[in-house]
Structure 1
Amino acid sequence: MQDVMSMNDLGKAIETKFAMDQELAFKIENQTQILVAEWAAERIGLDPDSSKKFVVELGEWSLQPSHNKDFKTRLMADFSANGVEISENALERLIELKRQQVKRKYLAS
């Protein structure tokens, strides 16, 4: 009986760790997108109020299941619409840099 209890405990522990890992991944991605959106708003030249609205709008947009993978595509379209030139490669590097900064912050706490 002890072995069955141990297996149940192990299963629960694995489920708990998985849930915590998923929550951490969501938080990291969300914070990364906020930082990148703030940077993008600055590059586009938005005033503080418009910048805040842009970050919120982009955050809400990216939370929709059909859009969560298209964050970079959306930013590229926003840059293009506002005459800001940036390569996809440069944007990808920036996103990854911000993601690593956020990961370090979360893993340090």
Structure 2
Amino acid sequence: MTTFDDRKDAFEKKHAHDEELAFKAVARRNKLLGLWVAEQIGLTGEAADAYAKDVVAADFEEAGDADVIRKVQADLKAKNVEVSDHRLAAKLAELLDVAKKQLSA
């Protein structure tokens, strides 16, 4: 193997690793969001954990965060809890930072 091939392989491995970490961070963020929303709508214990899993699963419906936001907004409205899209977006950003820190620890 040449030095170029070694560098190419190393770059590809790093890219795959970075993508895996990003996926895990978003999944963890969604779980944390689910737990936060569960608290807002009065769920605790196993019900809150199950709800958080549903939020994580909602992210697999389409690319991006729109599906997650749509799900939690519908659930919040069903329980007459008002949370703006802006506040949800801010919470997503905050929880992504938390998730990344948890994964790096």
TM over 0.5: yes
Equivalence for 1:75: 72
What CA distance in whole angstroms lies between the structure 2 residues aligned with 1:91 and 1:6? 47
Q: For residue 63 of structure 1, give the secondary structure of its aligned residue in structure 2.
A: coil
CA-atom RMSD in angstroms? 1.7
The alpha carbon displacement at 1:72 in A equals: 1.3
Counterparts in 2 of 1:67 and 1:50: CA distance versus 1, 3 Å: farther
Please list the CA deviations of residues 38-59 of structure 1 after superposition, one character each: whole Å capped at 9, or x if unmatched: 0100101124232122112222
What CA distance in whole angstroms lies between the structure 1 residues aligned with 2:6 and 2:23? 26
Equivalence for 1:32: 29
Structure 2: which 5+ residue stretches go unaligned? none
* TM-score in terms of structure 2 length: 0.87
**Max Rg structure:** 1
Structure 1: which 5+ residue stretches go unaligned? none
Question: What code does the residue aligned with 1:101 have?
Answer: V
* TM-score in terms of structure 1 length: 0.84
The alpha carbon displacement at 1:68 in A equals: 5.0
Equivalence for 1:51: 48
Q: Is 1:13 aligned to 2:10, yes or no?
A: yes
What CA distance in whole angstroms lies between the structure 1 residues aligned with 2:64 and 2:48? 20
